[in-house]
A and B are shown apart, each in its own frame.
Chain A
Amino acid sequence: EIVLTQSPATVSLSPGERVTLSCRASQSISNWLAWYQQKPGQAPRLLIYDASNRATGIPARFSGSGSGTDFTLTISSLEPEDFAVYYCQQRSDWYTFGQGTKLEIK
């Protein structure tokens, strides 16, 4: 089973700052990685697919990169609505999610 490890678990920042979230796979997954944002009481929302492609309607401040085992999600300048929990997800012969990174307001 491929395990996804996200870091950090929690990060505290202010609006306007830049943040990079990490997702590491226990073995190579090519570019088979997606990122989701989840706000309290809401369903997750797809942000990035195939490691670096923004989903429809996702602002350009969100970007994804990486391949193989190491992936990052970068938000270039945080907006108040970006404070949420972020999950990565991979697909190999089945699907798994990381444990999530909580992005909180400092």
Chain B
Amino acid sequence: QITLKESGPTLVKPTQALTLTCTFSGFSLSTSGVGVGWVRQPPGKALEWLAVIYWDDDTRYSPSLKSRLTITKGTSRNQVVLTMSNMDPVDTATYYCTRIAATKSSDPFDVWGQGTMLTVSS
């Protein structure tokens, strides 16, 4: 069974940095064609892709947020870490971790974590 779970703070202050951890099981990020990504969703709004890291350590970022994001593999082999700098209230959202099946043409996000709600407020 493949699972992913997000962890991190529920509240950060404006200008602070955010660190989110995705802990997964049931697959390996060393397997060719696998990626782990982050997607967020502000309350009542649409999904927004943020970043992805692939099995070969290649990384991609949303162009609009690229300067603020860093995605890395964690010290544990089953973790991926996302950092976002200079947080703002507009970054208030539910943040999801997903597995990406890059062996398929459309790179579908085939398994999702439950999401973690983050509020940015002073």
What is A's interface to B at a CB cutoff of 8 Å?
Answer: 1, 30-34, 36, 38, 43-46, 49-51, 53, 55, 87, 89-91, 93-100
Cα(A97)–Cα(B114), bound, Å: 19
Beta-carbon contact of A49 and B113 below 8 Å: no
Beta-carbon contact of A94 and B62 below 8 Å: yes
Nearest residue (CB) in B for A93 is: B60
Beta-carbon contact of A89 and B46 below 8 Å: no
Beta-carbon contact of A96 and B106 below 8 Å: no
In the assembled complex, which residues on chain A have CB atoms less than 8 Å from the CB atom of B60?
Answer: 93-94
Nearest residue (CB) in A for B52 is: A95
Beta-carbon contact of A43 and B106 below 8 Å: no
Interface residues on B, range: 20 to 34
Nearest residue (CB) in A for B105 is: A50
Beta-carbon contact of A90 and B108 below 8 Å: no
Whether a CB of chain A sits under 8 angstroms from the CB of B63 is yes
Cα(A91)–Cα(B37), bound, Å: 13
Among candidates A49, A93, A100, residue contacting B46 with C-beta atoms closer than 8 Å: A100
In the assembled complex, which residues on chain B have CB atoms less than 8 Å from the CB atom of A93?
Answer: 60
In the assembled complex, which residues on chain B have CB atoms less than 8 Å from the CB atom of A99?
Answer: 46
Beta-carbon contact of A34 and B106 below 8 Å: yes
Nearest residue (CB) in A for B101 is: A49
Among candidates A45, A50, A51, A97, residue contacting B47 with C-beta atoms closer than 8 Å: A97
Beta-carbon contact of A91 and B112 below 8 Å: no
Q: How far is the CB of A35 from chain B (nearest CB, A)?
A: 9
Beta-carbon contact of A95 and B113 below 8 Å: no
Q: Which of B13-29 contact A (CB under 8 A)?
A: none
Beta-carbon contact of A97 and B105 below 8 Å: no
Beta-carbon contact of A97 and B49 below 8 Å: yes
Nearest residue (CB) in B for A32 is: B106
Nearest residue (CB) in A for B61 is: A94
Beta-carbon contact of B110 and A95 below 8 Å: no
Cα(A49)–Cα(B100), bound, Å: 11
Cα(A36)–Cα(B110), bound, Å: 9
